[in-house]
Amino acid sequence: MKLAERLSRWQKAGLITEDQAQKILDYEQGSRPSYALYGFLGLGALAIAIGIVSLIAFNWDEISDAIKLGADFSLLAIVGAIILFTAMTGRQALSQIAVVIFFGLILGSIGLISQIFHTGGELYEALLLWTSVTLPLVLVLGGRLPLHLWFAGLLAMTMDYLIHTDDDFLILFAVTPALFATIALLSRFHGHFDVHRTAAIPWAGALYAAGTIAASFFVGEKSLPESSSESFLYTALLVSSLLTIGLSFVAPGLTKKQSVFFSVAVALYTLFLSPQFLLLDSDFLAAVLFIAVWLFFAFFALATEHRRLFELCLVGIGIRFLVVYFQVLGDLAATGFGLIVSGFMILGAVWLYIKIREPLMRGISRWI
């Protein structure tokens, strides 16, 4: 329910006055971040950063190496001073833009040094150095734009490493969801890291979702990629899952019931990606486990009052039911009749959910 509707109900119930309702609404609208604004600011800053990287990476034969390095470090110092000034004066938007540009300068500097001294190396090695150097700035200043950019760099580093080592991409989904979940859980131990927690949650959720989808394509494969058949995938899954489960029970702000929902979801996810389960040739078991993982993540989302995430999980479960419907009907599902029936089923389910959404939410919330 939207804030304006809630305030109207509270006002009619005599809980608050009209003046109080308007003040609350004005305050919330004024303090609410504009995602479109931050998105465009981030896009502009990212374009500048990429342009700087391109200019630095260009092979300026006419310019000596000393001048290039001096100009590069001078730019780093200037942008660093801008970051310090904007952070001290509380100009958050400008500070985040400056940090994003600084990130681009650092990446460009790594490329420039590699070019001048002919060090060579792969992209994941440059990104490993970049994430390490920028980590203190991310921890101290935070900010949504720099955090999401840093998270993207961390994920790109992992993906490029797997590409160059010819490892199975299931390892990506075995480790990275737990990594971002661990960041979100560790951030609960100090109020300074609230922005880190809120930034890490969507990355963890997206990667857990992507992992279940990716695993669905490997179910029944008689010859998994080599790294999946070995113990490394299972070990990575087990260690990362146990770490996140353990943290969920000690992290501040989570009730025992919330921790249980999260732990069950992670345990089922671990089972889903385990090589032993993937070698089973059962679409039915895969569908059941997929739905179970998403259902417990939905319960966790509702228990932590992330209603949009809860509804997103329901959509995912509904889509998986539709896939099962196509698998069961076989040839019929490929006909127009099958598509019409499935369309009416979806519309009917949506209509029913809209009709009973509020009582359903209240009932589930009381149970959870």
Return the sign of the alpha-carbon dihedral for residues 207, 154, 160, 50.
positive
1 pLDDT more than 50:
no
Angle at 286 between CA 316 and CA 327, to 5 degrees: 75
Residue 15 has pLDDT above 90, yes or no: no
Residues in contact with 329: Cβ distance below 8 Å, sequence separation at least 6, in sequence order: 338
DSSP for 317-334, please give it. HHHHHHHHHHHHHGGGGG
Question: Three-state DSSP class for 187?
Answer: helix
pLDDT confidence of residue 123: 85
How confident is the model over 14-29, as a mean pLDDT? 68
Give the pLDDT of residue 352.
Answer: 65
Output the average pLDDT for the chain: 77
Are residues 322 and 329 in contact, defined by beta-carbon separation less than 8 angstroms? no
Per residue in 29-60, pLDDT (tens digit) is 554 555 555 556 666 666 766 676 666 656 56
C-beta separation of 99 from 125 below 8 A? no
Q: Which residue has the higher pLDDT, 322 or 140?
A: 140
On whether the CB atoms of residues 22 and 122 are closer than 8 A, the answer is: no
Single-letter amino acid, residue 168: D
Q: What is the DSSP letter of 15?
A: S
CA distance 182 to 86: 30
* Cα–Cα distance for residue pair 277/231, rounded to 1 Å: 14
| Cut 0.95: pTM above it | no
Q: 216 pLDDT band (50/70/90 cuts)?
A: confident
What's the CA gap between 139 and 204, in Å, rounded?
A: 18
Helix ranges (DSSP H) in the chain: 3-12, 18-31, 35-57, 65-88, 92-117, 123-141, 144-165, 170-186, 194-218, 226-229, 231-250, 256-273, 275-278, 283-303, 307-329, 336-367
pLDDT in tens, 114-128: 877 777 778 889 899
pLDDT value of residue 265:
92
Residue 226 confidence (pLDDT): 52
Q: Give CA–CA dist 79/207, Å, rounded.
A: 33
User: How far apart are the C-alpha atoms of 35 and 197, rounded to whole Å?
Assistant: 17
CA 348/CA 350 separation, integer angstroms:
5
* Six-digit token string for 143: 């900010």
Fill in the DSSP letter of residue 282: -
Where does the pLDDT of residue 264 fall: very low under 50, low under 70, confident under 90, or very high at 90 and above?
A: very high
Residue 85 has pLDDT above 70, yes or no: yes
* pLDDT per position as a tens digit, 172-214: 888 899 999 999 999 999 888 888 998 899 899 999 998 898 8
Mean pLDDT, residues 290-302: 88
Counting every residue written for the chain, the total comes to: 368
Task: Report whether 56 contacts 109 (CB < 8 A).
Answer: yes
DSSP structural state of residue 190:
S
Q: Render pLDDT for 334-364 as a digit per residue (tens, 0 to 9).
A: 555 655 666 676 666 666 666 665 665 565 5
Residue 228: what pLDDT? 46
Angle CA 316–309–40, to nearest 5: 105
Residue 192 DSSP symbol:
G
Name the pLDDT band for 247 (thresholds 50, 70, 90): very high
DSSP 220-272: T-SS--HHHHSHHHHHHHHHHHHHHHHHHHHSTT--HHHHHHHHHHHHHHHHH
Calculate what percentage of the chain has a pLDDT beyond 70: 70
Token readout for 61 is 């034969």
Lowest mean pLDDT among 110-119, 268-277, 288-297: 110-119
**How many other C-beta atoms lie within 10 A of the C-beta of residue 146?**
26
